[in-house]
């Protein structure tokens, strides 16, 4: 898959890579969130998109209020049983592939609303990818959730697999970032970047 070291194409500015790596890199940096703002977490979600915290650095500043144009649902706030049906409907209308963040204690577990009218965690009806603790979470925590989603986008999902879905295509090995360490070239998870001792 790689060019030979003495290939003349190097001098022409070419490099080779996998389709998954390029496509997932592009997609992970252009997530369009569907802001499902249900309560006070939505206020913090506005701060996360606003200039000070500036989620545009991660390519996710374009909030899309149409489910057809969004690929990341941020469930921000407590979910009532009545609203749950609407959320699931909007989730079903979002185009594949799509991801979901349960933002805050209420969306993740029901939080302090331990009562008959509030769903005790939106993972009862949504496939949640990232849970964000906090009441409400700081914008940094939501940005961290976006980064976790980006890692999922880069590593979990393959365009090639999607194209061959149902035809028994082999699962490609997940792409992991390479980090040069004194011990040599190691493949690690980006999560380990936060753990300096592991390096």
Among positions 101, 126, 142, 146, the unique one binding other proteins when judged by CB under 8 A: 126
User: Least distance to other proteins from the beta carbon of 37, Å?
Assistant: 19
Integer Cα distance of 184 and 153 in angstroms: 27
Helices then strands, each counted (H, E), the chain? 6, 6
Largest CA distance in the chain: 69
Question: Does 133 participate in binding other proteins (rule CB under 8 A)?
Answer: no
- Measured from the CB atom, is 90 or 188 closer to other proteins? 90
- Measured from the CB atom, is 48 or 99 closer to other proteins? 99
Question: Does 171 participate in binding other proteins (rule CB under 8 A)?
Answer: no
Question: Does 115 participate in binding other proteins (rule CB under 8 A)?
Answer: yes
Among residues 47, 11, 157, 41, which one has the least CA distance to residue 108?
A: 41
Question: Does 172 participate in binding other proteins (rule CB under 8 A)?
Answer: no
Integer Cα distance of 130 and 143 in angstroms: 11
How far CA 80 is from CA of 94, 110, 116, 117, 122, in Å, comes to 21, 9, 9, 6, 9
User: Least distance to other proteins from the beta carbon of 27, Å?
Assistant: 14
- Measured from the CB atom, is 116 or 194 closer to other proteins? 116
Residue 31 in tokens: 């997530």
Question: Does 81 participate in binding other proteins (rule CB under 8 A)?
Answer: yes
Residues that bind other proteins (CB under 8 A): 81-82, 84-85, 87-89, 92, 96-98, 114-117, 119-121, 123-127, 157, 162, 165-166
């Amino acid at each position: 898959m790689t060019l030979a070291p003495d290939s003349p194409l190097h001098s022409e500015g070419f490099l080779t890579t996998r389709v998954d790596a390029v496509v997932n890199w592009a997609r992970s940096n252009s997530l369009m969130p569907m802001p499902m703002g249900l309560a006070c977490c939505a206020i913090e979600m506005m701060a996360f998109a606003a200039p000070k915290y500036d989620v545009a650095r991660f390519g996710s500043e374009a909030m899309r209020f149409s489910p057809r144009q969004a690929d990341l649902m941020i469930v921000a706030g407590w979910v009532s049983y009545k609203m749950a049906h609407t959320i699931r409907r909007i989730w079903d209308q979002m185009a594949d592939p799509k991801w979901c963040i349960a933002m805050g204690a209420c969306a993740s577990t029901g939080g302090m609303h331990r009562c008959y009218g509030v769903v005790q965690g939106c993972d009862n009806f949504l496939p949640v990818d990232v849970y964000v603790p906090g009441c409400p979470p700081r914008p940094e925590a939501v940005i961290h959730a976006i980064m976790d989603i980006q890692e999922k986008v880069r590593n979990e999902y393959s365009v090639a697999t999607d194209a061959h879905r149902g035809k028994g295509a082999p699962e490609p090995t997940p792409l992991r970032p390479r980090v040069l360490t004194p011990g040599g070239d190691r493949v690690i998870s980006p999560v380990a970047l936060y753990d300096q001792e592991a390096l």
